[in-house]
Amino acid sequence: MVPSVFTSLAYLTLAGFARAATVTYNFNATWVWASPDGVGRPVIGINGEWPCPTIKATTGDIVVVNLYNGLGNQTTGLHFHGVNQIMTSDMDGPSGVTQCPLPPGSSMKYQFVVDSPGTFWYHSHNMGQYPDGLRGPMIVSDPNDPYKGQYDEEYVLTVSDWYHNDSITLMKSMLSPSNTNFLPAFPDSILVNEGKGARVNFVKGKTYRIRMINFSAFASALIHFDSHTMSVISNDAAYIQKQEAYQLRLTPAQRYDVLISCIDRDNGNFPFLISLDINRDWTDPNAQLRWGLNYTGYLVMDSSPLTKLDVVDKWNPADDAHFKPYNNAPAYPSYDHLIHLDFEFCFDQNGYPRACFNNVTYIEQKVPTLYSAATTGQFNTKPHHLRPTGRATGPAATSTTQQPADARHVAVMAHSYAVLRFKADNPGVWLFHCHIEWHVEMGLTATIIEAPDRLRG
Ligand SMILES: *[C@@H]1O[C@H](CO)[C@@H](O)[C@H](O)[C@H]1NC(C)=O
Ligand SMILES: *[C@@H]1O[C@H](CO)[C@@H](O)[C@H](O)[C@H]1NC(C)=O
Ligand SMILES: *[C@@H]1O[C@H](CO)[C@@H](O)[C@H](O)[C@H]1NC(C)=O
Ligand SMILES: *[C@@H]1O[C@H](CO)[C@@H](O)[C@H](O)[C@H]1NC(C)=O
Ligand SMILES: *[C@@H]1O[C@H](CO)[C@@H](O)[C@H](O)[C@H]1NC(C)=O
Ligand SMILES: *[C@@H]1O[C@H](CO)[C@@H](O)[C@H](O)[C@H]1NC(C)=O
């Protein structure tokens, strides 16, 4: 049904990466009982375990994930967040966009090339399932890492808001006509490394690369290390020029890679603070943290008790709009198409609270949009609903940045805006959406069909 060009992995493998290996994972998604914060609940695990495993590969590898839906009572699917999926749009994973939801008792094979290195994650893009636990890190290591030799060990640090009710319960309550203030679900707690905590063995003379991933459905995470600065080297899997930061703010789904060094004068154990924040405008000096969920992790040098707390008087995180791309790539000088998207809350004709782009809410498609684009011949250039041509990835920045670093997420403050530019160089069907999962479920999504003429079957 989908043009075979999408599965011609051989092309990429031959074209770019002589040493490509195939990395295979067999995933059986099932319900697992877990209590990461002391409160038990069913979560979606893989192969009978939760947290879900980390996918590890090297740039140029072919990743194969054989997914079996062992949930019994829900459909599922996997999205590999941040992977370019060049010529493999049908492997991108969002239900109703590039595939049908995978029914219970069925399996499917995801197969794609990881053409660029960095810190990624995979998660379900179906029925709000990632706050129910179906998510995990995906690390693509880089033989040509420009920062190679500048760190000795690496750690993954995942941060997430956490809910004691399952997503379906939370969504039902959120999408009810009585929710006239469009309130999303409020988290019950914060999870760091899915409840396993964060202890970094900190040894004098060593430098650590910490790959931070935000798994949250709603809250942002602020992070600060006692007595240590972070050298930020990568934002959303794009290298940047090394930039010192005292505090960082991870918006949902964002990733930062930072280096932290244990130097000569260091002695004892150093706390670090991760604080969840649902404040929509952190540049507002009068805004307080809107949520007080804190987690303290430790850089551990000795066996003394881990009691010291890291206290932050005022959060003033580094602004990622000022990070510079590693290769000094200039901003795109101009554009061919201007896509204007206003987002706001809206009610549908039945009075249900929704979220809208240009006054249109997203309705999940029964036939995945990619299949429609591939099978409707010349009619596929007729707009379905929202149909800008271009992909929502690549350089992103606020309008004031002259030389934007690559990014895949941009935080947009309330009553504010962001200007994004991207190069339309990857034919396929892509979702452009808010990564506050609750807003996605309210409909804050647009479909971008890039180069529809090249998708015809
Ligand atoms: C998946 O796990 C369930 C529960 O353990 C088991 O019954 C089922 O046979 C497994 N399926 C596959 C394909 O591994
Ligand atoms: C599916 O089963 C899980 C685990 O028993 C349960 O928590 C969840 O509510 C069920 N979902 C539906 C849609 O029935
Ligand atoms: C979630 O769980 C709590 C405690 O069990 C309950 O009070 C609340 O009403 C539930 N529903 C929603 C939508 O939060
Ligand atoms: C994590 O990502 C979610 C969206 O997926 C966002 O709402 C949240 O603010 C982020 N949290 C952190 C800790 O960065
Ligand atoms: C979380 O940490 C911040 C910054 O140190 C502090 O102001 C706040 O009181 C803490 N919140 C809680 C609930 O402990
Ligand atoms: C949005 O749609 C509603 C309902 O169709 C309509 O009443 C309203 O005028 C529209 N607003 C804009 C800004 O187009």
Quick one: 300 and 170 in the same domain? yes
Percent of the chain predicted with pLDDT > 90: 39
Which two three-digit tokens encode residue 35? 């209590």
Residue 444: nearest ligand to its CA?
Answer: 4
From 224, 274, 294, 313, mutation site for ligand 5 pocket: most ligand atoms within 8 A of C-beta: 294
Which two three-digit tokens encode residue 205? 């003379």
Query: How sure is the predictor about 82, in pLDDT bands with cuts at 50, 70 and 90?
Result: confident
Q: Is the CB of 74 under 6 A from ligand 2?
A: yes
- Can you list the positions of beta strands (E) in 101-149? 107-113, 118-123, 135-141
Quick one: 308 and 180 in the same domain? yes
Quick one: 258 and 125 in the same domain? no
Lowest mean pLDDT among 80-84, 171-175, 390-394, 416-420: 390-394
Q: List helix spans (H) across 17-113.
A: none
pLDDT for res 273: 93
| The pLDDT of residue 382 is above 50 | no
Return the bridge partners of 347, or none: 353
Please give the angle made by the CA atoms of 159, 278 and 214, to the nearest 5 degrees: 20
Residues within 6 Å of ligand 4 by CB: 159, 214, 216-221, 250-254, 435-437
Domain-ending residue, one of 260, 285, 320: 320
Under 8 Å between Cβ of 120 and 83: yes
Element containing residue 168 per DSSP (H, E):
helix 167-174
Q: What is the pLDDT of residues 16-73, one digit of tens each?
A: 555 679 999 999 999 999 999 999 999 999 999 999 999 999 999 999 999 999 999 9
Q: Whose CA is nearest to atom 6 of ligand 3?
A: 165
Under 8 Å between Cβ of 267 and 230: no
The boundaries of the domain holding residue 405 are 343-454
Q: Specify the higher pLDDT residue, 268 or 358.
A: 268
Quick one: 21 and 127 in the same domain? yes
Kindly tell me the number of DSSP H helices and DSSP E strands found in the chain: 4, 26
Residue 188: nearest ligand to its CA?
Answer: 3
| The pLDDT of residue 261 is above 60 | yes
Residue 224: nearest ligand to its CA?
Answer: 5
Domain-ending residue, one of 141, 172, 201: 141
Q: Which atom of ligand 1 is nearest to the CA of 68?
A: 13
Whether residue 328 lies inside any domain: the answer is no
The alpha carbon of 170 and the centre of ligand 2 are apart by a number of angstroms equal to: 13
Q: Is the CB of 33 under 6 A from ligand 2?
A: no
Quick one: 102 and 239 in the same domain? no
Q: Is the peptide bond before 36 cis (omega within 30 degrees of 0)?
A: no
CA–CA distance, 248 with 225 (Å, rounded to integer): 10
What are the CA-CA distances from residue 109 to residues 8, 120, 196 (Å)? 15, 19, 30
CA–CA distance, 219 with 187 (Å, rounded to integer): 8
Average pLDDT, rounded, for the chain: 77
Q: Which atom of ligand 3 is nearest to the CA of 173?
A: 13
pLDDT for res 363: 62
CA–CA distance, 212 with 153 (Å, rounded to integer): 14
Whether residue 332 lies inside any domain: the answer is no
Q: Whose CA is nearest to atom 12 of ligand 2?
A: 73
Mean pLDDT to the nearest integer, 305-328: 83
pLDDT for res 90: 80
Under 8 Å between Cβ of 317 and 243: no
CA–CA distance, 262 with 301 (Å, rounded to integer): 9
Residues within 6 Å of ligand 5 by CB: 273, 275, 292, 294, 311-312
The alpha carbon of 222 and the centre of ligand 4 are apart by a number of angstroms equal to: 10
Q: Specify the higher pLDDT residue, 194 or 366.
A: 194
Quick one: 264 and 192 in the same domain? yes
Query: How sure is the predictor about 425, in pLDDT bands with cuts at 50, 70 and 90?
Result: low
Residues with Cβ < 8 Å from 111, sequence gap 6 or more?
A: 7, 9, 62, 63, 64, 65, 88, 91
Q: Whose CA is nearest to atom 9 of ligand 2?
A: 166
Q: Is the CB of 176 under 6 A from ligand 3?
A: no
Under 8 Å between Cβ of 214 and 157: no
Whether residue 331 lies inside any domain: the answer is no
| The pLDDT of residue 446 is above 70 | no
Quick one: 167 and 310 in the same domain? yes
Q: What is the pLDDT of residues 267-282, one digit of tens each?
A: 999 999 998 876 655 5
Mean pLDDT to the nearest integer, 254-269: 92
Q: Is the CB of 92 under 6 A from ligand 2?
A: no
CA–CA distance, 71 with 75 (Å, rounded to integer): 8
Return the bridge partners of 29, or none: 46, 69
Whether residue 257 lies inside any domain: the answer is yes
Which two three-digit tokens encode residue 448? 């971008």
Q: Specify the higher pLDDT residue, 112 or 96.
A: 112
Q: How many domains does the chain have?
A: 3
Residue 359: nearest ligand to its CA?
Answer: 6
Residue 33: Cβ-neighbour burial (10 angstroms; 0-12, 13-18, 19+): exposed
pLDDT for res 113: 93
120-140 in b/e burial notation, b at 16+ Cβ within 10 A?
Answer: bbbbbbbbbbbbbbbbbbbbb
Q: Which of 286-290, 377-381, 401-405, 406-410 has the highest mean pLDDT?
A: 286-290
Quick one: 382 and 281 in the same domain? no
Quick one: 18 and 105 in the same domain? yes
Quick one: 89 and 182 in the same domain? no
Quick one: 120 and 194 in the same domain? no
pLDDT for res 398: 32
Q: What is the CA radius of gyration of the chain?
A: 22
Whether residue 10 lies inside any domain: the answer is yes
Q: Which of 73-87, 178-192, 313-327 has the highest mean pLDDT?
A: 73-87
CATH number at residue 352: 2.60.40.420
Whether residue 326 lies inside any domain: the answer is no
Whether residue 204 lies inside any domain: the answer is yes
Mean pLDDT to the nearest integer, 421-438: 59
Whether residue 133 lies inside any domain: the answer is yes
Residue 347: nearest ligand to its CA?
Answer: 6
Tokens 């061919």 correspond to: 336
Quick one: 190 and 298 in the same domain? yes
